[in-house]
A and B are shown apart, each in its own frame.
Chain A
């Protein structure tokens, strides 16, 4: 069923893509109905079950990768969020991107994303989890790059891909380490038998896995990609970068909670980074003027809060996390979509240019107010409940762990920022009379269509009524999710009101601080802004490091690649010489006389050989000494002819003849070429180059000498040539020349190959000559 759901969603995406949804209204409804239908199907099939729902598809067992799905409370919570908000967003998108010719592609990526995200929350197998994780990374990349000609889209998409893609690879490495160490490849197995203690392997795996979670959920210092991703069309921002994808990191932490919660690093790392993210992003959110930018930083702060909650193990903290996830999806989604509607209607997203929209955009106003109650953490809405439980848990923890104080500070700063944001949204966009900055009068205000409002309105209403329904309808969902995170069955009842206690006072303080900051106005914020400008943003850091990496890469690769041909030749020769040097200590037996084949020769032959050798040496020296082009060629030919003489001496007339022919031909050819070339003297080499070349030549000479010595040593076994001579005599009916028989018969296939080589060389010469004769046309600059 689960795999079928994924297939249905992907297929719907393909259908929407190919049927040009921008031309038909039905597409919007189709896009909204499919996720709801899938949700209904899953709900009917699973909520009846008391136990968790399992589904197993064998895929790549050799790689420990199977599609093992497991639908427990936590997964179900996320499934509801993904499909529910997905339906609202799909409906909304059609109106937001009306007339965009790439609407079909947007729908395709949106539905593929939906399927991948569901795959994440359903996968029990860790490698399948990674597969779907990458699916969300790439669909998110494509959605951010929807407006592909804008620089902001390109940069935002690239940064998101680098950060989340890199984190995904780190997470994979962590999974592989832990999987190989434990032999188990499912979360449920890891949770059932937590990896023992804090040994190096587990710690390394934990760090890598958390790297994946932190990058995906934009935790400090990886937070910068998320605001950049706001270049995506608003529906994508609302859906991926607020409600679902950025919570994948949260989900990963929740999923592995039972396995790692006892690890000594778990609590301080999660609470510490979460608190810092919450504080930093909260402050940054207050300094932004773009609606989506403000919401993006607020999302980061909320994600920080969730990490603070999940770093702890108490029931209260986990309830805070679950309620927080639910409440955040229900208020942040509508807020994002409202920002989109405001932009759609007024033509701007800059809060300084907005005012008095309560009457013209009254539907949006209702949505924003309903959501802002939860954002500001007013009792008794979702945001408040989550924070209440979290503060309670942190206060208890503060007795034993110092990091809880950090968590408290982070939560309070975040709470202040949330309150500020809620007031700013309601007051500045809708209630105040005059904007801060000039308004673009050319844009004709047009209120959003009812169908566009329907999705966000539904979400906002559910969020608004959450206090009433939480313990009635959502209680089983929350309870199962908390049980799934903690790894044991918990009984949960969310209390709407905890009484007047320290926790409530803290909540109140944050609310008051936010209101105060808002009343003080922008002057304080400008100071903040200046302070924030001081901190180098991750964006800038990434840009610099990418530039450095590119320059370093260019230096390394070009530095090596642009060396002279001589250097490259000496590297290849050096490698071969190195082999001889490496085995040199074993060469002892080589100089064992019994290994050398010493042929007894007559004194005449010895004299002859000595003379030839002397001639060759003189010719070789002439090559070195000469300064023009002709002399070394003649001298080299002399060396070649001397070799011919050796063949004659050793009674190999065929070889001598061949060698003679080749020498003469090559000599004539080179002389012909030289005759055509301009008669310039070759440049004089500097002394250093000369010494280097002499060195290379000498080393190569020694190398060749050793090779020849080795090759002409005493054979260990009877060579196959004996059989060849025998066969030539017997089978070839007395043919006298074994060389010919070898060339044409025994190894005729080789000869055939070598002849092909000659033919190809001929074609090459011909085509080069033709290419020069017909001057080429301009070619594309391929470097």
Chain B
């Protein structure tokens, strides 16, 4: 069922609201409203709230099986640009909205004057880019939103202007632009041979007979390289571990939740739709990459010498888990929805929990003024448990979820993937997955222990002459703890009500694999629609 009525126009708001809020805060001079609130943060907060309401509305509509399609500017696809929202898009938009709204109070709480410069408008641009990616129904439009993301995140990485930030940011932007170049190459090939850019139209045309034999593997391969790079899948992940931990904790939390997901989204959207047979044909290679990502991400997390570096590097291993689901779903008889569903569940879990754990990790770093909490030869224990009981509790719970311990969402997601691996008889991958879960458990508990156990830090000398500036920002309080608690609560609910989460994931997976419904819903103009039947 498709809804392209006036209500579909609301889809544009997902891009327009962040843009207007960002533009507004750039135009209006910043002034203080309350002790912790000024015009910029207020704009971000309001935009985040409206965005969440919109996302909830969209979820409620699409979960009934209705796809919303907006033909931008009244031009019917494929001549104009279309924005398409189905359950999968709506789910990711909703998670994005939750994560974004969660990081804004954290930012209000801990950003200091210097770091605050430009954060709020830039984060809104980031939100716009992520939202647009999840709605794009057109290859070039997707590329445009990727561009917005790359440039915004580059600026966000370098926000503090530190030497290591610039160094990490350079690598970040160079490698990402290379990926964009490859993406653009794929767009060119698609337009040059098929004469169109619309997803649905490409899907229709790729089924026509007498296509050159190289076309599908070439497009699939180039797009895979581009999207795998965006997702930070091994061996295209290098941009992530060199930049994430150099950013401000707020930026790091936002990135950890949102950035790599656009790549995964694109893989999940386009491979079942356009290249289902390539998923099956390349399955061994894809599984190898997924396994390698698990290993490298886990080991990277283990070797990370600071809290946020370890937590950020570990993202790569989760990407491996999620991608493994996509790779396993490809069979000779088409893409199986039952394979995609656990991966989607894990994706949702990962977004929520990674943001929470990076926020908690950032709060710890701000409190201790160092991220070196891993017990080493030079000591380095935090002993924060005595002062920061609630932070300890929330970080512990996110750690449990991250390590896949019941009853949190990490458990159901991982359980689904492990069952999938067993039913596909991928023993090696199963062993890698279980072992990497084990190492993750050790790694995360070591971090928790390092931060919270050990001798309590000495009371800071605030009036002595040697007293260094004790904090980066004004410390953190409820504005930091509440969002973390809410995200942990989300993870717990997703685990305890795993059956409902599972049914949503299943529905999302079904829309991804139901190619006909997608093509129908986009409602290609005039004579082109006939070609689909």
Contact = CB atoms under 8 A, between A and B. Distances in A.
Contact of A553 (B246, B302, B423): B302
B192 A760 contact: no
Interface string B141-157: 10011011001101100
Interface in A87-132: 127, 130-131
B315 interface: no
A781 interface: yes
* Chain B interface size, under 10 / 10 to 19 / 20 to 34 / 35 or more: 35 or more
B502 A595 contact: no
Interface string A61-82: 1111100000000000000000
A180 B468 CA distance: 60
Contacts of B205: 716-717
Contacts of B160: 771, 776, 779
Given A145-B449, A554-B303, A580 B218 contact: yes
B195 A763 contact: no
Interface stretch (A160-168, A263-271, A347-355): A160-168
Contacts of A561: 238, 241-242, 300
Interface stretch (A186-194, A321-329, A382-390, A585-593): A585-593
A158 interface: yes
Contact of B236 (A135, A575, A586, A746): A575
Given A771-B117, A783-B371, A760 B185 contact: no
B174 A569 contact: yes
B449 A583 contact: no
Contacts of B197: 720
B114 A776 contact: yes
Given A60-B502, A782-B365, A711 B430 contact: no
Interface string A721-755: 10110010000000000000000011111100110
A573 interface: yes
Given A565-B174, A747-B80, A783-B371, A777 B452 contact: no
A157 B197 CA distance: 57
Interface stretch (B31-39, B322-330, B410-418): B410-418
B122 interface: yes
Contact of A777 (B114, B145, B164, B191): B114
Contacts of B306: 782-783
B179 A138 contact: no
Contacts of A148: 383, 385, 452-454
B406 A771 contact: no
A716 to B, nearest CB: 6
A180 B365 contact: no
Interface in A748-783: 748-750, 753-754, 756-757, 760-761, 763-764, 766-768, 770-772, 774, 776-783
A713 to B, nearest CB: 6
Contact of B193 (A558, A568, A586, A711): A711
Contact of B229 (A59, A572, A772): A572
A130 B302 contact: no
Interface in A568-605: 568-569, 571-573, 575-576, 578-580, 582-583, 586-587, 589-590, 595
Interface in B446-465: 446, 449, 452-456
Interface stretch (A170-178, A475-483, A628-636, A679-687): A170-178
Interface stretch (B52-60, B100-108, B436-444, B507-515): B436-444
A781 B194 contact: no
A579 B224 CA distance: 9
B305 to A, nearest CB: 7
Contact of B195 (A149, A563, A720): A720
Most chain B beta-carbon neighbours within 10 Å: one of A707, A721, A782: A782
B395 interface: no
A715 B453 contact: no
Given A553-B299, A571-B235, A774 B114 contact: yes
B69 to A, nearest CB: 14
B469 A763 contact: no
Contacts of B334: none
A59 B407 CA distance: 11
Contacts of A715: 192-195
Which among A154, A590, A750, A766 has the greatest number of chain B C-beta atoms within 10 A? Answer: A750
Most buried by A among B208, B210, B221: B221
A576 B185 CA distance: 10
B396 to A, nearest CB: 8
Interface string B379-420: 000010100000000000000100001110001100110110
Interface string B163-174: 010000011001
B507 to A, nearest CB: 13
B469 A749 contact: no
Interface in B208-264: 208, 210-214, 217-218, 221-222, 224-225, 228-229, 235-236, 238-239, 241-242, 245-246
Nearest to B505: A62
B522 interface: no
B22 to A, nearest CB: 9
A748 B73 contact: yes
Contact of A127 (B178, B196, B210, B415): B415
Contacts of A774: 114
Contacts of B73: 745-746, 748-749
B170 A721 contact: no
Contacts of B188: 707-708, 711
A557 interface: yes
Given A169-B437, A757-B151, A780-B472, A721 B195 contact: yes
Nearest to A719: B195
A756 B300 contact: no
B498 to A, nearest CB: 5
B482 interface: no
Nearest to A711: B192
A668 interface: no
Nearest to B161: A771
Given A554-B303, A750-B144, A572 B159 contact: no
Interface string B106-134: 00000000100110011001001000100
Contact of B79 (A557, A724, A768): A724
Contacts of B118: 763, 766-767
B370 interface: yes
Contacts of A533: none
Nearest to A750: B144
Contacts of B145: 753
B237 to A, nearest CB: 9
B158 interface: yes
B75 interface: yes
A783 B305 contact: yes
B245 A783 contact: yes
B313 interface: yes
A58 B165 CA distance: 50
